């Protein structure tokens, strides 16, 4: 089946109905070859208000559909996406610049989360507690929240939406998606796939909504008291603004923000695992994953060996068109990202950082977005190392004791993903203990990037504290209600309080 992406690139949709938005035109250019993919009309403030009203109305009927029925529809959406896996994965790869394998992997995550959510739809369990009062039942239920706003980042143009939408839907919420202004065409392609299923089930307009646009639309969602939960993925700067806007109205937010992830290679590490994990973690998606490996700590005795193995691996890397399966690394998203890359390299150099590989723009590619991945010997406390630069830059550092490595790893503002490579049980367990990694994700003999949907995904500190996807992350998309039923003929009060009248 061909993927329908040509149509009117209407940036405002309430499901099966789409229309042009009143906002400015977004032109999407591919970083792969610099060509324009399409123009998309984006939403303005009035469009946003109208869509919120439609989503609110749809919530009233969607929440009444039994959760397992909602789950069946989400499963069908996953199946429909599966039909278009190659086409959608290719478009994601072309619009974002990640390798085709990663584009396909992203779509696979969408399918997987729909399957997960369908199963979850029968498992939105609440507890029953023992009441201290006779003839009383004490229990809890989980109810849907209302309209969930999903703000997503450019680097996962479609998967992040699905992690949120699939779970939010089975929980009984309706969703409004504000994708990145850098990847609007992938979002429209998803709408075109999903709307077929919505139509076949005669679902009301408003269960799925799309509003393309820049941060102003995201801001409007964050400020709206009608958005029960704002799930925002992106930079810490954006998350801080969303947190403040939702807090001002005492609303809920789920924040998935920047990372500054580290791998520790301990003396006993199996380098046949560690080296490929570090290289994939550092250069995969051209260093534009929230879980990209940005810092590498190596036990001093292994430092020279690891350095030379890394340099050998980097020399083998093929940088090129990400749609070519032979390429290991594609372009950065745009020329601003290229500037940020050179800026970070320059700042590290000014601090005394030693570049072990060349930092170069590959001028043979017309888009002007292809750079070489770099390794820099650095120090953890340098400001540039403390920041997340969304580019393939790996800072290399040595350590003597495992305590020192964990201390350095934790000494950054972000807390997303972390790894240790070791064959020493004590080191591994120390790393996973409360005194170990302070990140939301901590792995042993597994790199920092490439999480599975079955676990709860997210991180601490400047990463925002949110959790989405698997495990019990669904609870964020529901409100908990504690219930007490008295089936007796007396009215005993809790804590033994007496009130005789
Ligand atoms: P970004 O912050 O520039 O934009 C992300 C989204 O937020 C976009 O849709 C944008 O339009 C919107 N936005 C911008 N300002 C806003 C505001 N004031 N209010 C509401 N919405 C606003 O991020 P980006 O460059 O697209 O993505 C890269 C960043 O995302 C990196 O920091 C990366 O680590 C992070 N990220 C985190 C995760 C995670 O799960 N922790 C996943 C993917 C990406």
User: pLDDT of 72-90, one tens digit each?
Assistant: 999 999 999 999 999 999 9
> Bridge partners of 461?
414
| CA–CA gap between residue 232 and residue 236 (Å, rounded) | 10
* DSSP-derived secondary structure for 477-498: GEEEEEEEEE-SSS-PPGGG--
Distance of CA 300 to the CA centre of its chain: 34
Question: Does residue 166 register a pLDDT over 50?
Answer: yes
Residue 143 CA to ligand 1 center (angstroms) comes to 28
Indicate whether residue 345 lines ligand 1 (CB < 6 A): no
Q: How far is the CA of 371 from the centre of ligand 1 (A)?
A: 22
Percent of the chain with pLDDT over 90: 97
Under 8 Å between Cβ of 212 and 182 = no
**Mean pLDDT for all residues in the chain:** 96
Q: What is the pLDDT of residues 245-296, one digit of tens each?
A: 999 999 999 999 999 999 999 999 999 999 999 999 999 999 999 999 999 9
Most ligand 1 atoms within 8 A of CB, residue of 223, 234, 291, 464 to mutate: 234
Classify domain 2-257+464-482 by CATH architecture: 3-Layer(aba) Sandwich (3.40)
Distance, CA 428 to ligand 1 centroid (Å)? 32
pLDDT at 118: 98
Confidence of residue 2 (pLDDT cuts 50, 70, 90): very low
Is the CB of residue 102 below 6 angstroms from any atom belonging to ligand 1?
Answer: no
Residue 241 Cα: closest atom of ligand 1: 18
Q: Identify the CA nearest to 190 among candidates 229, 164, 222.
A: 164
Model pLDDT, residue 439: 98
Q: Is 256 a catalytic residue?
A: yes
Radius of gyration of the chain (CA): 24
DSSP letter assigned to residue 473: G
Nearest atom in ligand 1 to 151's CA: 9
pLDDT at 501: 82
Task: Report the C-alpha gap between 264 and 238 in whole angstroms.
Answer: 29
**Ligand 1 near 9 CB (within 6 A):** no
Please say if the pLDDT value at position 4 is more than 80: no
- ipTM for the complex? 0.98
Assess whether pLDDT exceeds 70 at residue 7.
no
Model confidence at 3: pLDDT above 80: no
- Whether ligand 1 lies within 6 angstroms of the CB of 157 is answered as no
CA-nearest residue for atom 15, ligand 1, is 215
* Average pLDDT over every residue of 479-494: 97
CA of 483 to the centre of ligand 1 (A): 38
Cβ of 451 below 6 Å from ligand 1: no
Query: Does the pLDDT value for residue 485 go beyond 60?
Result: yes
Helix 425-432 to helix 402-410 angle (10° resolution) is 30
In the predicted model, is pLDDT for residue 177 greater than 80? Answer: yes
What pLDDT sits at residue 1? 42
CA distances from 100 to 157, 318, 319, 327, 370 (A): 14, 14, 13, 9, 16
Is residue 324 over pLDDT 50?
yes
What's the pLDDT at 8? Answer: 53
Q: Is the pLDDT of residue 209 over 50?
A: yes
- Segment 31-43 mean pLDDT: 96
Q: How many whole angstroms separate alpha carbon 492 and alpha carbon 138?
A: 14
pLDDT per position as a tens digit, 390-443:
999 999 999 999 999 999 999 999 999 999 999 999 999 999 999 999 999 999
Mean pLDDT, range 473-495, rounded to an integer: 97
233 pocket-lining for ligand 1 (C-beta < 6 Å): yes
Q: Is 219 in the pocket of ligand 1 (CB under 6 A)?
A: yes
Size (the chain), residues: 501
Q: What percent of the chain has pLDDT over 70?
A: 98
Does the beta carbon of 240 sit less than 6 angstroms from any atom of ligand 1? no
- Helix H or strand E encompassing 375: strand 374-377
Residue 180 has a pLDDT of 98
Helix, strand, coil share (%) of the chain residues, nearest 5: 40, 20, 40
Query: What is the CATH T-level fold of the domain 261-444, as seen in this structure?
Result: Aldehyde Dehydrogenase; Chain A, domain 2 (3.40.309)
Which of the residues 106, 181, 205, 256 is marked catalytic?
Answer: 256
Given pLDDT bands bounded at 50, 70 and 90, which one contains residue 9?
confident
Q: What is the pLDDT of residue 5?
A: 52
CA separation for the pair 230, 190 (Å, rounded): 20
| Structural domain boundaries in the chain | 2-257+464-482, 261-444
59-68, 202-211, 363-372, 492-501: range with lowest mean pLDDT = 492-501
Residue that is written with structure tokens 């429909």 in the block: 80
Mean pLDDT of 129-158: 98
Give the pLDDT confidence of 305-323 residue by residue, as tens digits.
999 999 999 999 999 999 9
């Amino acid at each position: 089946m061909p993927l329908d992406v040509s149509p009117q690139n209407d940036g405002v949709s309430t499901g099966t109905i789409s229309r042009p938005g009143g906002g400015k035109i977004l032109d999407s250019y591919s970083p792969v070859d610099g060509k324009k993919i399409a123009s998309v009309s984006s939403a303005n403030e009035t469009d946003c208000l109208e869509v919120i009203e439609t989503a609110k109305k749809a919530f009233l009927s969607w929440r009444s559909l039994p959760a397992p029925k909602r789950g069946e529809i989400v499963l069908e959406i996953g199946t429909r996406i599966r039909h278009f896996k190659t086409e959608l994965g290719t478009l994601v790869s072309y619009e974002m610049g990640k390798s085709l394998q990663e584009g396909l992997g992203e779509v696979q995550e969408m399918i997987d989360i729909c399957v997960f959510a369908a199963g979850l739809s029968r498992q939105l369990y609440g507890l029953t507690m023992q009441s201290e009062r006779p003839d009383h039942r004490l229990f809890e239920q989980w109810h849907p929240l209302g309209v969930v706003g999903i703000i997503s980042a450019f680097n996962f143009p479609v998967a992040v939406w699905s992690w949120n939408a699939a779970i939010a839907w089975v929980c009984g919420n309706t969703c409004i998606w504000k994708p990145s202004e850098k990847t609007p065409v992938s979002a429209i392609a998803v709408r075109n796939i999903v709307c077929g299923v919505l139509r076949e089930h005669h679902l009301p307009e408003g269960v799925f909504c799309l509003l393309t646009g820049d941060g102003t639309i995201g801001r409007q969602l964050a400020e709206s008291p009608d958005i029960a939960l704002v799930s925002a993925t992106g930079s810490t700067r954006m998350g801080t603004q969303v947190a403040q806007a939702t807090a001002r109205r005492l609303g809920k937010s789920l924040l998935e923000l920047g990372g500054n992830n580290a791998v520790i290679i301990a003396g006993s590490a199996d380098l046949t695992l560690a080296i490929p994990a570090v290289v994939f973690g550092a250069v995969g998606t051209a260093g534009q994953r929230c879980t990209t490996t940005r810092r590498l700590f190596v036990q001093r005795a292994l430092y020279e060996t690891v350095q030379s193995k890394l340099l050998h691996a980097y020399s083998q890397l093929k940088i090129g068109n990400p749609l070519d399966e032979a390429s290991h690394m594609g372009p950065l998203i745009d020329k601003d990202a290229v500037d940020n890359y050179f800026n970070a390299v320059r700042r590290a150099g000014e601090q005394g950082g030693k570049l072990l590989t060349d930092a170069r723009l590959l001028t043979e590619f017309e888009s002007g977005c292809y750079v070489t991945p770099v390794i820099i010997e650095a120090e953890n406390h340098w400001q540039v190392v403390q920041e997340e630069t969304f580019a393939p830059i790996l800072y290399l550092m040595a350590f003597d004791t495992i305590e020192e490595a964990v201390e350095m790893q934790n000494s950054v503002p972000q807390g997303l993903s972390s790894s240790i490579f070791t064959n020493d049980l004590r080191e591994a367990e120390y790393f996973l203990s409360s005194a170990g990694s302070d990140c939301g994700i901590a792995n042993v003999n597994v790199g920092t990037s490439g999480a599975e949907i079955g676990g709860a995904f997210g991180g601490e500190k400047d990463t925002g504290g949110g959790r989405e996807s698997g495990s019990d992350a669904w609870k964020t998309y529901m409100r908990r209600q504690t219930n007490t039923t008295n089936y007796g003929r007396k009215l005993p009060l809790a804590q033994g309080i007496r009130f005789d009248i």
